[in-house]
Structure 1
Amino acid sequence: MLNNKVNYYQVTQGVWGMKTLFVNIYMVANRKGIADGWVLIDAGLPGYSSKIIRMAEALFGEGAKPEAIILTHGHFDHTGSLSELLKHWDVPVYAHPLELPYLTGRSSYPPADPTVGGGLMSWLSWSYPTKPIDLGDKIQALDTSGDITELPEWKTIHTPGHSPGHVSLFFKLNATLIAGDAFVTTKTESAFYALIFAQKLSGPPKYLTTDWAAAAQSVRKLYQLEPRTVATGHGYTMRGKELQTELKNLADNFEDIAIPANGRYVQVPAMADADGVEYVPPLMVSTKFNLAAIALVSVTIGYFAVREVQKRFL
C-alpha cells in the first residue's frame, strides 16, 4: 500500500516533478503566475492519483486542478492513474494525433521486447500492458504546430520512435526540456537503476521502443535545441555542462550507445498510422527460445520476491 507522504522536487522555475515508483509526472505553471493555471504532464503508474492530487494542492492550493493533462505518450506507466484523476478533475487530455488510437480503444501497442536491455525491467516487460485505454471524449489531439493553448510559452515537439505519437515539451526562454521517454536519465532496463533513479543518460527504454531509426532522429532533434535543463520520464533532472556533454555523446553515437545489437524491432520497425499499428515484425526462432527463458527466470524471481515479502511483513 502506498504511504500518504508526498515527495516532489523542483525542476526549474514553474516546473515540478514527482516520482511514481519508477516513472515521473510533472506539473508546469504558466510563467505569468500560479493563478493563471498549470498543466499536468503524464499520469504515472496506477495507484498514485491521490498523491498527484495532494501534490497539486500543496503547490497550487486546496481544490486546485490543471487546465489540461498532456501525455508525452500512452504507455501504461504514463497513463496508469489517468482514469482516477479524471474522476476527480473534469479537464481535457491531449496527445499527438498518432497516439490517439492507443487512447481511444482502437489499437494495442506492439508487444514489448524483453530480449533487449539485459536487466530485470526488460525481462519482466513481456507482462507489461500494451492494450489500449479508451478515454472517450476526454482525449483531444494536440495541435501539430506545437502550440499549447493552456501553456502558451511552451511548444510540443513530435519525437517518435519510442511510440508513434511520442512528444516532448520545450520552453525556449530558459531552455527547459521535458523529454518524456525520447531519452532518459537513468538505465530503465535495470531494476536497480530504474527504482532508485541512479543517473545515466540513456536512449529510450529499449523494451518498448519499436522504431529505432525514428528514435535516433528524435534524440538528434532534441539535442539541436541545446537544452540547459532536462526532465525525463525516468530518472532525475539533469542540467548544465554534464547534460550538454552526455546528450552530445548520445546524439553523436546513438547507434552504438542506445540501439541493441539484436532484437525484434532492431532490423525492422513496427509500423503504424493514424489508425494504429499496421505491422509488427515476427519473432525469430531464437527470440522465441529467449522469451521462454526470460519468462521462466522472471516468474522464478517474482515468486521468491513475494516469498521474501511474506516472511518479512506478514
Structure 2
Amino acid sequence: MDKEMFEGSDFKYIPMTSLESRMGHEVAEDVYYYTNQIVNIIFIGNPGNGKWYLIDAGMPRSAPETINQVAERFGEGREPEAIILTHGHFDHVGGLVELLEKWDVPVYAHEKEVPYLTGELSYPEPDPTVEGGMLAKISTIYPNEPINIRPHLQLLPKDGTLLGLEEWKWVHTPGHTPGHVSLFRERDSLLISGDAFVTVRQDSFYKVLTQQPEVCGPPRYLTTDWRAAKTSVEILQELNPKTVIPGHGISLKGEELTKGLRELVANFEQVAVPDYGKYI
C-alpha cells in the first residue's frame, strides 16, 4: 500500500441494495456497466483487444467485487489503462484506494474535485432535512470525509479529450459537485451522465430498491448548487444522447430517454429542485 493514500475514517460498508445489484449490462460492444449495490461502475474497452478503462469505483468495500467483474470481462489480473472519475462522492470512489493498492494506474478527475481526492477538504455534509424520501432522511450515515489518492491523481485535459479514448470527450457538468463531469461519445450518442442526472428517484428507498426508471435530477441530499445543476442538464440535453448510463438507475435509450430528459429540463425547478433544504 502507498502510505500516502488513505480512505476517509468514516468509510464503511453501507447496507443498501437494489434489485439490479450484482447485475451487469452490455450497452455497446465495448461499453459495459455493473451495478454495485445502488451505483453503477462502467467498463470501456472491448474484451478482445486488451485495453480498457474504469469509470468510477463504486461503494465502500466494493473493490473485490469490481476485480471479479474485471476477471470475467477482461481476464484475470488485467489492469485498466486508467480510472476516470465523474466525481468523488463516497459511492463513486468507495473502492478506489483498495483498487489502487493492486493497480498502479492513473486516476483522472476534474481540477475542482482535487481537494476532495487529496484529503484536503470534505464535501458539504449530506442534507437530511431536504424534501425527499427515506434515503434522504438517513443520509447522515453516509461517509463524507475525503480520500487521498494524490500519488495517482491526474487532471483531465483542459480540451475535453480523454487520453487513450479518442472517440470520447468529457463535459464539465457541475452542480452535484463542483468538478462533476460526464462522458460522451458522438459516434453512437452514448452518454455517461454520472450524477448530473440519474434514472431513478435516488432519495426514495422503494424506487432505489426496485430501480423503477424515470429521468430525474441529481440526488437531492448531496446536491449543493441547483442553478449549476440545471445548466448541466441543459448542456447534456443539447448533446441529444441516444443512450445514457447514469450513476444511479438503469440505462435508458431512445424515446424514453429523449422525452424524459426533455421533461426534466422543461420542469427542472418543479421536479428536480426540492421545495426546502439547507442547499436551496
User: Normalised by the size of structure 2, how large is the TM-score?
Assistant: 0.90
Is 1:183 the counterpart of 2:219? The answer is: no
> Mapping of 1:146-161 within 5 angstroms?
146-161=160-175
Q: Partner amino acid for 1:164?
A: P
Q: Per-residue CA shift, 1:99-152, capped at 9, x if unaligned?
A: 000000111111111122421110111222221111121111111211111212
Which residue of 2 is the match for residue 21 of structure 1? 37
CA apart distance, 1:9:
1.2
The answer as to whether partners of 1:117 and 1:189 remain within 8 angstroms in 2 is no
243 and 6 in structure 1: CA distance in 2 versus 1, 3 angstrom threshold: closer
The answer as to whether partners of 1:56 and 1:64 remain within 8 angstroms in 2 is yes
1:50 counterpart SS class: helix
Q: Which whole-Å CA distance do the structure 1 matches of 2:266 and 2:110 have between them?
A: 27
Instruction: Give the CA RMSD over aligned residues.
Output: 1.6
Q: Which whole-Å CA distance do the structure 1 matches of 2:53 and 2:204 have between them?
A: 30
Aligned residue among 101, 110, 122 for 1:108: 122
The answer as to whether partners of 2:87 and 2:113 remain within 8 angstroms in 1 is yes
1:173 counterpart SS class: coil
Is 1:63 the counterpart of 2:77? The answer is: yes
1:136 counterpart SS class: coil
The answer as to whether partners of 2:191 and 2:241 remain within 8 angstroms in 1 is yes
Which residue of 1 is the match for residue 18 of structure 2? none
Which residue of 2 is the match for residue 172 of structure 1? 186
Aligned residue among 136, 148, 159 for 1:122: 136
CA apart distance, 1:47:
2.1
1:111 counterpart SS class: coil
User: Normalised by the size of structure 1, how large is the TM-score?
Assistant: 0.80
Moved more, 119-128 or 180-189: 119-128
2:101 counterpart SS class: helix
Q: Which whole-Å CA distance do the structure 1 matches of 2:134 and 2:22 have between them?
A: 27
1:27 counterpart SS class: strand
Q: How many pairs does the alignment contain?
A: 262
Name structure 2 gaps, 5 residues minimum: 1-12, 16-20
Name structure 1 gaps, 5 residues minimum: 267-314
Runs of 4+ in 1 over 6 A off after TM superposition: none
Q: Per-residue CA shift, 1:265-305, capped at 9, x if unaligned?
A: 11xxxxxxxxxxxxxxxxxxxxxxxxxxxxxxxxxxxxxxx
Aligned residue among 82, 85, 89 for 2:96: 82
2:40 counterpart SS class: strand
Moved more, 232-241 or 190-199: 190-199
Which residue of 1 is the match for residue 108 of structure 2? 94
The answer as to whether partners of 2:131 and 2:275 remain within 8 angstroms in 1 is no
Q: Which whole-Å CA distance do the structure 1 matches of 2:164 and 2:139 have between them?
A: 35
Moved more, 130-139 or 73-82: 130-139
The answer as to whether partners of 1:39 and 1:150 remain within 8 angstroms in 2 is no
Aligned residue among 19, 40, 47 for 2:54: 40
CA apart distance, 1:6:
5.4
Q: Which whole-Å CA distance do the structure 2 matches of 1:97 and 1:199 have between them?
A: 32
Pick the structure with more helix per residue. Answer: 1
